[in-house]
Amino acid sequence: MSAPSTRGETRLVPDRLQGRAERLLKSWEALLLAVAIAIFALNVWSSPYFLDPWNLSDATFNFTEKGLIAFALALVIVSGEIDLSVAAILALSSTLMGLAMSHGAGTPEIVAIGLLTGLACGAINGMLVSGLGLPSIVVTIGTMSLFRGIAFIILGDKAFTGYPVDFAWFGQGYVWWVFSFELLLFVVAAILFAVLLHATSFGRMVYAIGNNAVAAQFSGIRVERVKFLLFLLSGLMSGLAAVCLTSRLGSTRPSIATGWELEAVTMAVLGGINILGGSGRIGGVVLAALIMGMVTFGFGLLNVPGIVMSIFVGLLLILVIALPKLIGRLGRAKRKA
């Protein structure tokens, strides 16, 4: 085919306007990195124990498991949906792992049951959301109660303890020096999810759905299938987090990981994932996980009570989200003046 001959000249539209460096500098991630460095410096200045390698290594446990959940949740949120049942899935997975252990299951079986429970719970969410077309916020608030309720029925006020010794490695093992298995898992998961969201056609479809599900469907994308897969993935990552947390604690109570769904959502939103769907990057979620982990740890070293900690995280979230708007408003006001 040749170009239409309505006009004499054919102009080529350039690929990009901004250079790569300029885009990076203006990004949300740059802002988060600055915040992360500031908090790191503050921690170093306020506590002499902060820079100790083993202390820092301990600090990573504050965000590794939540981070695993937040990565998958980030994809769900980018697609315009939400999964509030992640912590309940973790609790149910952990409970069923304990149940299997109490019936004599070995480490491989326990891990498999944890992951499969996560997948099954994710499949239930996915079927309700994409099969029946129900709003995910309602569905996952429902399954949040359902899954944790089952855990409570199984366990009551008791706890499962006495996991096999080799099972402890997932949550307590170190790969090399101060680097734990969980940290390695966090890094690998971060890379995999970043690749999935930013470099594959699946990731592109997730963005398209989150921006305009109707137009995505009209573009030949199987919207419901993509959403189902995302809930499946979210369930699987909650199951994986259940393996890590159960292994690290060495016990299961039905109240395990209470409130983690909100921390995971906070991590994703702080990381620049648009809560309305359609935009955000995994790099931002990684930085948000680091920030939240460092804040928790720093406050812990200073013996700050947990409630102050949650006040701080709440303020941080509002501040970081309000900041770009405030800067934009200031900029406009200056231009007018």
Partner 1 sequence: MTHLSFPASSPGPAADMPADRPVIRLAGIAKTFPGVRALGGVELSLHAGSVTALIGENGAGKSTLVKILTGIYQPDEGHIEMDGAPVRFPTTMDAARAGVTAIHQETVLFDELSVAENIFLGHQPRNRFGLIDWARMNADARALLDRIGARMDPAMRLRDLGIANRHLVAIARALSIDARVVIMDEPTAALSHKEIGELYDLVERLKAEGKAILFISHKFDEIFRIADRYTVFRDGEMVGAGLLAETSQNDLVRLMVGRDVGQVFPKVAADIGEPVLTVAGYCHPTEFEDIGFELRRGEILGFYGLIGAGRSEVMQALFGVTRPSKGAVRIDGEVAVIRTPAEAVARGIVYVPEDRGRQGAITAMPIVSNVTLPSLSRTSRRGFIRMAEEFALARDYTARLDLRAAALDQPVGTLSGGNQQKVVIAKWLATRPKVIILDEPTKGIDIGSKAAVHAFMSELAGQGLSVIMVSSEIPEIMGMSDRVIVMREGRIAGRFDREGLTPEMLVRAAAGIGEAA
Contacting residues toward partner 1, per CB under 8 A: 1, 3-7, 10-18, 195, 199-205, 207-208, 211-212, 214-222, 278-279
CA separation, residue 81 to residues 188, 196, 257, 283 (Å): 25, 18, 22, 20
If one counts every other C-beta atom within 10 angstroms of the C-beta of residue 119, the result is: 18
Least Å distance between CB 2 and partner 1?
Answer: 8
For tokens 């890094």, what's the residue?
A: 187
Minimum CB distance to partner 1 smaller for 118 or for 284: 284
Give the residue with the Cβ less far from partner 1, 183 or 282. 282
Alpha-carbon torsion (173, 89, 78, 66), positive or negative = negative
Q: Please, what is the minimum distance in Å from the beta carbon of residue 206 to partner 1?
A: 12
How many Cα atoms within 13 Å fall on the side-chain side of residue 135?
3
Q: 208 or 237: whose CB is closer to partner 1?
A: 208
Q: Is 237:71 a contact under the CB 8 Å cutoff? A: yes
How many whole angstroms separate alpha carbon 86 and alpha carbon 112?
A: 18
Rounded to a whole number, what is the largest CA-CA distance in the chain? 81
CB nearer to partner 1: pick between 14 and 48: 14
Q: Which is nearer to partner 1, 96 or 216 (CB)?
A: 216
Nearest to 154 by CA among 98, 194, 88: 98
Distance of CA 47 to the CA centre of its chain: 29
Q: Which residues of 75-100 are buried (b: 16+ CB within 10 A; e: fewer)?
A: bbbbbbbbbbbbbbbbbbbbbbbbbb
CB of 205 to partner 1, least distance (A): 7
Residue 279 Ramachandran class (φ > 0 left, ψ -120 to 50 alpha, else beta): beta
**Minimum CB–partner distance for residue 69 and partner 1 (Å):** 24
Q: Please state, in angstroms and rounded to a whole number, the distance separating the CA atoms of residues 253 and 116.
A: 19
245 Cβ neighbours under 8 A, 6+ residues apart? 65, 90, 94, 171, 256, 257
Minimum Å distance from CB 277 to partner 1?
A: 10
- Output the smallest distance, CB 7 to partner 1, in A: 6
Whole-number minimum distance, CB 117 to partner 1, in Å? 27
Q: Least distance (Å) from partner 1 to the CB of residue 46?
A: 42
Task: Give the Cα separation of 280 and 282 in Å (integer).
Answer: 7
Nearer to partner 1, 27 or 255 (CB): 27
Residue 206 vs 270, nearer CB to partner 1 = 206
Q: Which is nearer to partner 1, 37 or 192 (CB)?
A: 192
Q: Which residues pair with 44 in a beta bridge?
A: none
Q: Is 158 or 204 the residue whose CB approaches partner 1 more closely?
A: 204
What would the two tokens of residue 165 be? 């010794």
- Nearest-approach distance from CB 287 to partner 1, in angstroms: 23
